[in-house]
Amino acid sequence: MDDRSKYLRRLVIDALEGGGRGHIGSSMSLVEILRVLYDDVLDVRPDDPRWPDRDRCILSKGHGCLTWYAVLADKGFFPKEELLRQCRAGAMLGGHPERAHIPGVEASTGSLGHGLSIGTGMAIAARMQKRPSRVFVITGDGELDEGSVWEAAMHAGKHRLENLVALVDYNKLQSYGPVKEVLDLEPLADKWRAFGWGVKEVDGHDVDALRAQLSTLPFEAGKPSVLICHTVKGKGFDFAEHQATWHHKARVEAPDVARMREALERA
Amino acid sequence: MRQVAVNMVETLARQDDRVVFIGSDLGPGLLKNMKADMPDRFFMEGVAEQHIIGMAAGMAMEGYIPYINTIATFLTRRCFDQIAIDVCLENLPVRLIASGGGLVYAPLGPTHLAFEDMGLLRTLPNMAIAAPVDAPEMERLMRASLDWKGPLYIRLAKGGDPVVSRAEAGFAIGKAIAMRQGGDVTLIGTGIMTGRALAAAEQLETQGISASVLHMHTVKPLDDAAVLEAAAGTGLIVTVEEHTRIGGLGSAVAELLAETDGAPRLLRLALPDAFPEGYGSQDNLLSLAGLTVDGITGAVTKALEGRK
């Protein structure tokens, strides 16, 4: 794992330490996806977060927000000190992202299955207004259990939304256990294809591969694009990887923080 | 009333290019002129109500004013989470035009009866809820809706409802309309029930009882001042609504009066706390609940007798 991926994970650990709680596994699987988006793909202006021509990013799996907060703070959307107060009284950052309070957050998410519909509305609006904006929506894999996601997928296909990109954080683990056992998504790529999307798959922790794939948007002319990112829940903390028990911790204490910091150095 | 509401979307769309129409899977040919003239602002997206709410929210965030039309129950019960989070939390100008409010779809049974729609949506911050009494008032509401800042739920009646509204009374969202003055009792109605309240007031007059009638076309925000003024002027307030007695107009008025010193007695005429049973017509089901002109008159008379 390179320095930048470790650095962003350290910011997440700082936030976990400061807030004393958070979704750990589902934040760690996202780091490289969000990193590549904000470092290499999205056209956004931290000093003018509502610039009309910006690309929109929606974290539909809102519980992965600690990583989003870390990346947004690192990019200068808001001071890094905010990370240390997340979920505390009077904080700007809560356990799920809220559009009204956080610069750079385009939709309030956490209730699963909403983001792709909002994203299709934004993508249609951008096309109507002839703006160059693209809309990126990051969904979880467990989130794909929600029927509303597939309503939106069908709809984006119908409207041939070339400016819409979905990224699936496919870490194979949902709250209760393996996705395969709780509600199997396979064949996942075929499902999206059948709904009219251009589909690619990638190792969601391989920064170069993510960059390469996202430099070829749209994946197919006249279709929305979905990048299925194969990821590892808890990535970077060896004791937490693939462990459903690390999906969310309501109490993160000093020994947990120390363990995470040590594990990150080994990664 | 529905035709007026839908046609007004087209009228508003012609005067303001922020207006878009989103339907689920409505009758063939609906708004065909709008579709022909403004194809990029006409959307018919299938039986995917949850998605449509999110889509509308996304468009509203980008400056559009989406008018959504589908069946009331699917808008409210099915999409409650999307309405709460995508629309109300962001206070977006999304308009929900709900077909078949109340008991309009009586022949279709409880799956299609929107008897708790106002109660559901009234709990959501930022949501405004309106139920016009007739088609001309629907037109006035639709004109007023264009500049309403937040979300708005518009309850449609059956259509062909008797016209009792008057243009000269004016119209503003959130402002009740005094339709009749009297000193013994104040009847407060919403939607088509205001028409029945007026007829009941006429009938009461023949019995020597003088009734005020207040038309509360907007149930939220409630016109507190109008209710309190009526409360000060009469000894009995009677709400009349095509809604379960929990959560609708009667509840809104009760909540207000409960916090008002020396408030008059309140009688809530509404549907019972039960899934409406039986089929037939809207009138049949309203009759079963006593929500007829005679039923209202009788209830008021009885309540006044009880006071003597």
Q: What percentage of chain B carries pLDDT values higher than 90?
A: 96
| Residue whose structure tokens are 């970077």 | A236
Residue B14, Cα to own-chain centre: how many angstroms?
26
3-state secondary structure string across chain B: CHHHHHHHHHHHHHHCCCEEEEECCCCCCCCHHHHHHCHHHEEECCCCHHHHHHHHHHHHHCCCEEEEEEEHHHHHHHCHHHHHHHHHCCCCCCEEEEECEECCCHHHCHHHCECCHHHHHHCCCCCEEECCCCHHHHHHHHHHHCCCCCCEEEECCCCCCCCCCCHHHCCCCCCCEEEECCCCEEEEECCCHHHHHHHHHHHHHHCCCCEEEEECCEEECCCHHHHHHHHHHCCEEEEEEEEECCCCHHHHHHHHHHCCCCCCEEEEEEECCCCCCCCCCHHHHHHHCCCCHHHHHHHHHHHHHHHC
Subunit contact B59:A125, Cβ cutoff 8 A? yes
Instruction: Assess whether the previous peptide bond of B221 is cis (omega < 30° from 0).
Output: yes
DSSP strand E in chain A: where? 56-59, 135-140, 164-170, 198-203, 225-230
Give residue-wise pLDDT tens across range A97-140: 999 999 999 999 999 999 999 999 999 999 999 999 999 999 99
**Three-state secondary structure along A80-147?**
HHHHHHCCCCCCCCCCCCCCCCCCCCCCCCCCCCCHHHHHHHHHHHHHHCCCCCCEEEEEECHHHHCH
8-state DSSP, A197: -
Tokens of B160: 């062909």
Q: Is A162 a residue whose pLDDT tops 60?
A: yes
Residue the block writes with tokens 């990051």: A138
Biggest alpha carbon–alpha carbon distance for chain A: 53
Backbone phi, psi, residue B272, to 5°: -70, 165
Query: Is A117 in Cβ contact with B54 (below 8 Å)?
Result: yes
Name every residue in B having a CB less than 8 A away from some CB of A.
40-41, 45-46, 48, 50-64, 81-82, 85-86, 89-90
Q: Judge whether B136 and B163 are in contact, CB under 8 Å.
A: yes
> Is B54 in Cβ contact with A148 (below 8 Å)?
yes
- pLDDT band at residue B308, thresholds of 50, 70 and 90? low
Distance from the Cα of residue B118 to its chain's centroid: 7
How far A61 CA lies from chain B's nearest CA (Å)?
Answer: 14
For residue A255 the two structure tokens come to 């020994």
Residues of A within 8 A of B59 (CB-CB) are 121-122, 124-125
Q: Which chain B residues are within 8 Å of A147, Cβ to Cβ? A: 50
Query: What is the model's pLDDT at position B126?
Result: 98
Q: Chain-wide mean pLDDT for chain B?
A: 96
Q: Which of residues 125-184 of A touch B (CB under 8 A)?
A: 125-126, 128-129, 147-148, 151-152, 154-155, 158
Report chain A residues whose CB lies below 8 A from the CB of B65.
Answer: none
Residue B135: the pLDDT is: 97
Per-residue pLDDT, A98: 96
Give the tens place of pLDDT for each residue, B165-220.
999 999 999 999 999 999 999 999 999 999 999 999 999 999 999 999 999 999 99
pLDDT at A247 over 90: no
- For residue B46, the distance in angstroms to the closest alpha carbon of chain A comes to 9
Under 8 Å CB pairs connecting chains A and B tally to 95
**pLDDT at residue B1 in the model:** 92
Among the listed residues A26, A1, A59, the one whose alpha carbon sits nearest the alpha carbon of residue A172: A26
Q: Which residues of B touch A124 (CB under 8 A)?
A: 55, 58-59
The pLDDT of residue B279 is: 94
* C-alpha distance from A63 to closest chain B C-alpha (Å): 15
DSSP at A62? G
User: What's the rounded Cα separation, in Å, for the pair B291 and B285?
Assistant: 9
pTM here is 0.96
In sequence order, the 6+-apart residues with CB closer than 8 A to the CB of B171 are: B137, B140, B141, B144, B177, B217
Q: Is the pLDDT of residue A53 over 60?
A: yes
Q: What is the ipTM of this complex?
A: 0.95
Residue owning tokens 């008002």:
B260
Residue labelled with tokens 């984006």: A156
- State whether A152 and B86 contact (CB < 8 Å): no
Please give the pLDDT value at position A105. Answer: 98
Interface test with B, best of A58, A118, A161, A195 (most B CBs within 10 A): A118
Q: Find the residue in B nearest to A107 (Cα).
A: B86
Tell me the shortest Cα–Cα distance from A2 to chain B, in angstroms. Answer: 36
pLDDT in tens, B70-92: 999 999 999 999 999 999 999 99
Q: Which of A133, A151, A161, A164 to mutate to test the interface with B (most CBs of B within 10 A)?
A: A151
Q: Which residues of B touch A158 (CB under 8 A)?
A: 45
pLDDT of residue B307: 64
Burial of A116 (0-12, 13-18, 19+ CB in 10 A): buried
Q: A194-223, pLDDT tens digit by residue?
A: 999 999 999 999 999 999 999 999 999 999
The answer to whether A122 faces chain B, any CB pair under 8 Å, is: yes
A194: tokens are 């059948």
Mean pLDDT across the stretch B277-292? 95
Instruction: Give me the residue from B45, B81, B85 closest to A155, CB to CB.
Output: B45
